[in-house]
């Protein structure tokens, strides 16, 4: 438990100092929203209809960057070797880094949320549904993303391998979270809380899978 | 009992046989100087002794623990100073050393003492302590990673080019630390190109070439 | 973990058994082509009231290959999952090679399933692609996941180090299928697929026979391909092992020279 906290705090502190997510990934998220708007040649009304899907695609793209950044921190100066030598339980390292990624992703989600409200004119009808879905989905993305991040980062192909490993597996999550948002933003007449239940269930499963996979894969 | 016991060890590095059959026994309190040309397998040997590499062939134990199946035990007791600083560039020297001390599981009551001792020992003054590691010079980074190294008080010292990048004063500190550690019961293996310096220190020279020991 | 595996004396990938299997696959496939394209009738039905012609017409012939391919694709991925689990339990190269070869063959047939399905869908459903159809979408995602799996395997410089991560990824991918299925079903909620292809269009003796025969032949072809791919994987392990041994010997010789000097 202490290890998880130590590692998560360390990662967050590094982000506070380096501001990589703040200064690079957040503007990138903003650019995606703008690019969608231009590429779809859309007015605010039709963008509103696509808002939840575009929101979650942006979140996934930002997540890829956040995960890659999180792995770079450990690989740059060989800090990962130090972590291994310190005798920390591998699942402690995994959960610590996943927590830090989840928290950073949550901040990005808030940022993107404000973005779709301002740029696409989305209107929040069910704030709690929005918050709960955002929270759970981001935990799931972080858990699975961290395990694949570790896997890819040792291979020197991290930027290219991570998306193709991670994104197809996250498709159910993308569908669930998008539909829940559709309801929360009043875009489609679906039962958003049912979709939230699906997302929450997925989060439990994927986090469990992440922990188990980490246990099986981590050797060094 | 030998601290390090390697018999016919073969180890691969990314598919390349970095070690092709190393026989090496190190007794407690020895200071082993591993020398050899570039690519002889010095770094791999040190990593192997730290329980970081799975041996392909051969038997080995470190401090009585099997080299691979009991690697967690070995890792906790061994200290490795490698080419990378192992520090987080965006954190200050002090933050780094605090993190690494805490994560190593050093007892809370002892943390403060140990840290101030290590920082003092490596001559890192309070101004340097509050500087980001990224902004330090190569030698200063080296001092910082040495501080992190000694704060854990490993009983097996695995040093890869410990003098590299350090100024004269720094090099002398390293030598003193090695001597002190052996007095305190540790065992040291140093890989280096700094012949004269380490020859004076060491109790035994191991010549590594082509991934195995050519003479002891 | 891997160094002490007994390597059988394998010079190339063919054996008497695989030759017989190969020849029967090819002959069987030729027979299937004749059955599917010449002997069976096109699917033409008449509306009971208006008497209008409807059905799949000649497009139905594609199903004789599409449906069998689906069965072998899923079978190959199931084999891959079982072999991956087998590897994680037993940690032998045999299981790893089986997982690798079945995944590769499965990915190939999966691509063919998507292609034939799309070609068939154009005349029958009037579309190359149907978003929201559970089976199409699941199959596509499965295909993408296994592309990732194969990419992961290739990213390792030694085939032996790839084994464990690959096994875990394969298991996660296969376990993800039901989740994908659920989500797409609820999302799309409008499947175009027949509830069961077998009962939908009129089944005559020859039609049913051709379909069953197609499945049998596909199984033969799949087994044949996996067998060869398995042996290639095995040979790759041997080659890697021998390469390492040679490299060790070479390094040791340098070592001896050094000693003499």
pLDDT of C21 > 50? The answer is yes
Range of the domain at A118: 2-217
Q: Would you call C252 and B14 a contact, using CB atoms and an 8 Å cutoff?
A: no
Tens-place pLDDT, residues C208-261: 888 889 999 999 999 999 999 999 998 888 888 888 888 888 888 876 666 665
Instruction: Name the strand (E) or helix (H) holding B79.
Output: strand B78-81
Residue B1 or B93, more confident: B93
Task: Tell me the C-alpha distance between B58 and A6, whole Å.
Answer: 38
Q: Give the pLDDT confidence score for residue B90 in this predicted structure.
A: 93
Task: Compute the nearest-CA separation of A141 from chain B (Å).
Answer: 25
Residue C85 forms contact with A (CB below 8 Å): no
Residue A85: closest CA among chain B residues belongs to which residue?
A: B75
Q: What is the number of domains present in chain A?
A: 1
Residue A75: closest CA among chain B residues belongs to which residue?
A: B86
Task: Tell me the C-alpha distance between A179 and A191, whole Å.
Answer: 8
- The SS3 of residue B78 is strand
Tell me what the mean pLDDT of segment A99-115 comes to.
95
Residue B214 forms contact with C (CB below 8 Å): yes
Please list, in sequence order, all residues whose beta carbon lies within 8 angstroms of the beta carbon of residue C227, skipping any fewer than 6 positions away: C13, C17, C18, C21
Tell me what the mean pLDDT of segment C72-87 comes to.
94
| Region at B29 (left for phi over 0; alpha for psi -120 to 50; beta for the rest) | left
Q: How deeply is C252 buried, as exposed, middle or buried, from its count of CB atoms within 10 A (0-12, 13-18, 19+)?
A: middle
Tally of CA atoms within 13 A in the half-sphere of A24 that contains its CB:
11
Q: What is the DSSP letter of B92?
A: B
Tell me what the mean pLDDT of segment B31-37 comes to.
90
pLDDT band at A189 (very low <50, low <70, confident <90, very high): confident
Residue C244 forms contact with A (CB below 8 Å): no
Which chain C residues are within 8 Å of B23, Cβ to Cβ? none
Task: Compute the nearest-CA separation of A215 from chain B (Å).
Answer: 14
Q: How distant is the alpha carbon of residue A203 from its chain centre?
A: 12
Q: How far is CA B61 from CA B46, B159, B160, C35, C56, in A?
A: 13, 19, 20, 67, 71
Task: Tell me the C-alpha distance between A11 and A94, whole Å.
Answer: 12
**β-pairing verdict for B187-191 and B156-160:** parallel
Among A146-160, B86-100, C171-185, which is the least confidently predicted range? Answer: A146-160
Residue A218: closest CA among chain C residues belongs to which residue?
A: C165
Quick check: B155 and B186 in contact, CB under 8 A? Answer: yes
Q: Give the pLDDT confidence score for residue C199 in this predicted structure.
A: 47
pLDDT of A144 > 70? The answer is yes
Q: Of all residues in chain C, what percent are helix, strand and coil, respectively (each to 5)?
A: 75, 5, 20
Which pairs from C152-157 meet CB under 8 Å and 24+ separation? C152/A151, C152/A152, C152/A161, C152/A165, C153/C100, C155/A152, C155/A155, C155/A157, C155/A161, C156/A155, C157/B14, C157/B15
Tens-place pLDDT, residues C90-144: 989 999 999 999 999 999 999 999 999 899 888 888 888 887 777 888 889 999 9
CB-CB: which of A168, A209, A217 is closest to C144? A168
CB-CB: which of C157, C247, C253 is closest to B17? C247
Tens-place pLDDT, residues B149-197: 999 999 999 999 998 888 999 999 999 999 999 999 999 999 988 888 8
Best A165, A199, A200, A204 residue to mutate vs chain C (most C CBs within 10 Å) = A165
Q: Give the pLDDT confidence score for residue C51 in this predicted structure.
A: 75
Q: Give the pLDDT confidence score for residue C198 in this predicted structure.
A: 47
Within 70-89 of B, beta carbons closer than 8 Å to A belong to 72, 75-76, 78-80, 82-89
pLDDT of A114 > 90? The answer is yes
Task: Tell me the C-alpha distance between B204 and B30, whole Å.
Answer: 8
CB count within 10 Å of CB A110 equals 12
Task: Tell me the C-alpha distance between C114 and C139, whole Å.
Answer: 7
Mean pLDDT rounded to a whole number for chain C = 83
Quick check: B12 and C244 in contact, CB under 8 A? Answer: yes
Task: Compute the nearest-CA separation of B101 from chain C (Å).
Answer: 31
For domain B2-215, give the CATH superfamily.
Answer: P-loop containing nucleotide triphosphate hydrolases (3.40.50.300)
**β-pairing verdict for B2-13 and B57-62:** antiparallel
Q: How deeply is C53 buried, as exposed, middle or buried, from its count of CB atoms within 10 A (0-12, 13-18, 19+)?
A: exposed
Q: Give the pLDDT confidence score for residue B72 in this predicted structure.
A: 87
Q: Give the pLDDT confidence score for residue A220 in this predicted structure.
A: 46
Q: What is the DSSP letter of B50?
A: T
Q: Which of A41-55, B90-104, C147-161 has the highest mean pLDDT?
A: B90-104
Q: Give the pLDDT confidence score for residue C254 in this predicted structure.
A: 72
Tell me what the mean pLDDT of segment B120-125 comes to.
90
Tens-place pLDDT, residues B88-117: 999 999 999 999 999 998 888 999 999 999
* Terminal-to-terminal C-alpha distance of chain B: 19
Task: Compute the nearest-CA separation of A127 from chain B (Å).
Answer: 37
Quick check: C53 and C45 in contact, CB under 8 A? Answer: yes
Q: How far is CA B87 from CA A149, B97, B148, in A?
A: 20, 9, 9
- Is the alpha carbon torsion for A192, A197, A201, A203 positive or negative? positive
């Amino acid at each position: 438990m202490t290890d998880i906290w130590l590692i998560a705090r360390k990662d967050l502190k590094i982000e506070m100092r380096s501001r990589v997510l703040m200064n690079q990934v957040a503007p990138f998220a903003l650019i995606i929203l703008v690019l969608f708007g231009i590429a779809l040649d859309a007015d605010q009304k039709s963008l509103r209809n696509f808002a939840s899907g575009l929101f979650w695609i942006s979140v996934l793209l930002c997540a890829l960057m956040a995960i890659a950044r999180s792995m770079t921190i450990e690989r740059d100066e060989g800090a990962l070797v130090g972590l291994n030598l310190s005798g920390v339980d591998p699942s402690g390292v995994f959960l610590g880094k996943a927590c830090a990624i989840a928290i950073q992703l949550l901040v990005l989600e808030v940022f993107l949320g404000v973005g779709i409200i301002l740029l696409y004119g989305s209107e929040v009808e069910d704030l709690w549904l929005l918050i709960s879905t955002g929270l759970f989905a981001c935990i799931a993305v972080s858990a699975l993303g961290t395990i694949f991040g570790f896997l890819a980062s040792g291979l020197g192909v991290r930027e290219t391998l991570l998306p193709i490993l991670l994104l197809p597996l996250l498709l159910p999550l993308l569908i669930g979270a998008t539909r829940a948002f559709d309801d929360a933003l009043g875009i489609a007449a679906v039962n958003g809380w049912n979709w939230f239940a699906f997302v929450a269930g997925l989060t439990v499963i994927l986090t469990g899978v992440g922990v188990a996979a980490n246990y099986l894969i981590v050797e060094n | 009992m030998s601290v390090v016991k390697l018999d016919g060890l073969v180890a691969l590095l990314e598919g390349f046989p970095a070690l092709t059959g190393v026989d090496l026994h190190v007794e407690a309190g020895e200071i082993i100087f591993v020398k050899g040309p570039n690519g002889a397998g010095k770094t791999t040997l040190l990593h192997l002794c730290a329980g970081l590499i799975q041996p392909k062939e051969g038997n080995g134990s470190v401090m009585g623990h099997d080299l691979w199946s009991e690697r967690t035990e070995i890792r906790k007791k061994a200290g490795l100073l490698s080419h990378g600083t192992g520090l987080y560039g965006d954190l200050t020297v002090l933050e780094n050393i605090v993190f690494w001390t805490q994560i190593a599981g050093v007892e809370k009551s002892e943390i403060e003492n140990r840290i101030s001792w290590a920082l003092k020992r490596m001559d890192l003054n309070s101004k340097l302590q509050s500087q980001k590691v990224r902004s330090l010079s190569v030698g200063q980074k080296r001092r910082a990673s040495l501080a992190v190294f000694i704060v854990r008080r490993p009983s097996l010292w695995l040093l890869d080019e410990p003098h590299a990048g350090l100024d004269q004063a720094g090099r002398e500190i390293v030598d003193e630390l090695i001597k002190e550690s052996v007095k305190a019961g540790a065992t040291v293996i140093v890989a280096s190109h700094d012949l004269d310096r380490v020859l004076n220190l060491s109790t035994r020279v191991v010549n590594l070439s082509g991934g195995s020991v050519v003479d002891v | 973990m891997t160094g002490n595996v007994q390597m059988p004396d394998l010079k190339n990938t063919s054996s008497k058994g695989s030759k017989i299997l190969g020849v029967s696959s090819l002959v069987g496939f030729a027979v299937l082509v004749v059955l599917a394209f010449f002997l069976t009738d096109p699917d033409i039905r008449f509306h009971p009231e208006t008497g209008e012609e409807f059905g799949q017409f000649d497009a139905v012939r594609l199903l004789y290959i599409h449906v069998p391919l689906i069965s072998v694709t899923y079978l190959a991925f199931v084999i891959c999952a079982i072999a991956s689990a087998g590897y994680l339990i037993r940690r032998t190269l045999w299981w790893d090679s089986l997982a690798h070869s079945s995944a590769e063959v499965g990915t190939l047939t999966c691509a063919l399933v998507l292609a034939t399905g799309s070609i068939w869908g154009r005349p029958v459903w009037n579309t190359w692609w149907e978003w929201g159809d559970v089976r199409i979408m699941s199959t596509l995602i499965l295909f993408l996941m296994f592309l990732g799996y194969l990419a992961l395997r290739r990213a390792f410089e030694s085939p032996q180090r790839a084994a464990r991560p690959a096994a875990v990824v394969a298991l996660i991918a296969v376990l993800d299928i039901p989740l994908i299925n659920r989500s797409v079903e609820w999302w799309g909620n409008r499947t175009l697929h027949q509830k069961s292809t077998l009962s939908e269009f009129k089944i005559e003796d020859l039609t049913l026979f051709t379909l069953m025969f197609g499945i049998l032949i596909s199984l033969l072809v799949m087994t044949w391909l996996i067998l060869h791919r398995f042996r290639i994987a095995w040979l790759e392990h041997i080659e890697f092992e021998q390469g390492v041994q040679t490299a060790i010997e070479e390094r040791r010789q340098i070592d001896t020279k050094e000693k003499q000097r």
